[in-house]
Chain A
Amino acid sequence: DAKTTQPPSMDCAEGRAANLPCNHSTISGNEYVYWYRQIHSQGPQYIIHGLKNNETNEMASLIITEDRKSSTLILPHATLRDTAVYYCIVRQIEGGSQGNLIFGKGTKLSVKP
């Protein structure tokens, strides 16, 4: 089973920041937080991942709380093309071994004009 909890849906106005929350209260010390998104009828696309520190790339920012029990994915200026299902996943990485990605139901983000 997925180890994360996300709201089933969210709306965001075009041009505004979209903040997608995720709870992972049982996360272990060697588990990373990953975010993927899936546009309708396509394969999921990697967005960002992090362990403890906040992360930023060209697509998004990831804010992880100090206790690591929750995180927020931020799309700074949402566009209509950001409408998708966003998945928050915790994944074990230790030494040379990586755990499989386990997907929950995600959050369906609808960006509206």
Chain B
Amino acid sequence: DGGITQSPKYLFRKEGQNVTLSCEQNLNHDAMYWYRQDPGQGLRLIYYSQIVNDFQKGDIAEGYSVSREKKESFPLTVTSAQKNPTAFYLCASSARQETYGYTFGSGTRLTVV
């Protein structure tokens, strides 16, 4: 079945360490997105990529980095520069010409200990 997979589901990190969250899709979608969600809040856009080897900052990109070397993959690195990284991270994808919106993964819950 086609879909979008995020791993791991739960992740613990020590302060000062970088950590990379995985996002893979087999939907042949051109665009991919990373959102952050804090308790009781909506989703905020971190980074997005409309095409391979290209990506743009969203509203809260500071302390995060991404790469888009393959169409299927859009990993997010949470760096030590991110002051408050504990959150629920969601990855999504969409076809370039679509109008039906995004397909979301099931999320990764990151906790800094």
Contacts and interface: CB of A to CB of B under 8 A. Distances in A.
A103 B40 contact: no
Contacts of B58: 100
A36 B90 contact: no
Nearest to B105: A43
Q: How large is the interface on A (under 10, 10 to 19, 20 to 34, 35 or more residues)?
A: 20 to 34
Contact of A106 (B42, B90, B97, B104): B42
Interface string A1-44: 01000000000000000000000000000001010100001111
Q: Report whether over half of chain A's contact residues are helix, strand or loop; otherwise say mixed.
A: loop
Interface in B79-109: 88, 90, 92, 94, 96-107, 109
A45 interface: yes
Interface residues of B, number: 27
Contacts of B19: none
A36 B48 contact: no
A45 B90 CA distance: 12
B33 A32 contact: no
A105 B99 contact: no
A34 B101 contact: yes
A48 to B, nearest CB: 10
B99 A43 contact: no
B101 A36 contact: yes
A45 to B, nearest CB: 7
Contact of A44 (B40, B41, B43, B99): B43
A43 B40 contact: no
Interface string A65-104: 0000000000000000000000100010100101011111
A100 B43 CA distance: 12
A85 to B, nearest CB: 8
Chain B CB count within 10 A is highest, among A36, A44, A46, for A44
A46 B100 contact: yes
B3 to A, nearest CB: 10
B88 A87 contact: no
A43 B106 contact: yes
Interface of A: 2, 32, 34, 36, 41-46, 49, 87, 91, 93, 96, 98, 100-106
